[in-house]
Amino acid sequence: MAASKSQGRLFALFLAGGTVLCGGIAYVASGTGRLLSLVGAAIMVASLAGFLKIKPLEGETPLQSSPETMKWIGAGVAALGWVVTNGGRIVIALLGIGVTLFGILYVLPAAFNKTAFWKKPAGTSARAGLTRMAGKVTMEQGFTPTPSAMESARMESAR
């Protein structure tokens, strides 16, 4: 956060230069991309020069230096928090994957295999379109394919 107008203007200039530079890097293969890279770099250098120019105007830092050990402890606690957060996410994600695989590999097959058509008792039709007549399975007329020449010959010889 800027403490003065000049810091705010230079920070906005820095952000604009960074944006233009990133756009130039994204399209660096084209002539426009190279031009944007140069313009963005120039804007960022200008903002850096402005920051260095106004640095002496800031005055002394109101805070005194803190102990080095406390800085390292604070950084360590922050890193530990990151590890705990990501470790927790990994554990939760692995539990979710495990539950999903259990459902896919054990629960769903068990549910569908109870009513599978091959587990029906002999003599009952497993599908709505099939009926049993005199030891033969026949289908409704709309679903019956036309017999091939070999099938027609076999049917004639069986009669």
Q: What pLDDT is stored for residue 131 in this prediction?
A: 54
Q: Which residues pair with 133 in a beta bridge?
A: 136
pTM greater than 0.95 (yes/no): no
CB 27 within 8 A of CB 39: no
- Label residue 93 by pLDDT band (50, 70, 90): confident
Are 17 and 40 spatial neighbours (Cβ–Cβ below 8 Å)? yes
Give the per-residue pLDDT at 11. 93
More confident residue, 83 or 139: 83
- Identify the weakest region by mean pLDDT among 11-15, 43-47, 77-81, 139-143: 139-143
pLDDT above 60 (res 141): no
Mean pLDDT of the 7-22 span: 93
> In 10 A of CB 157, how many CB atoms?
7
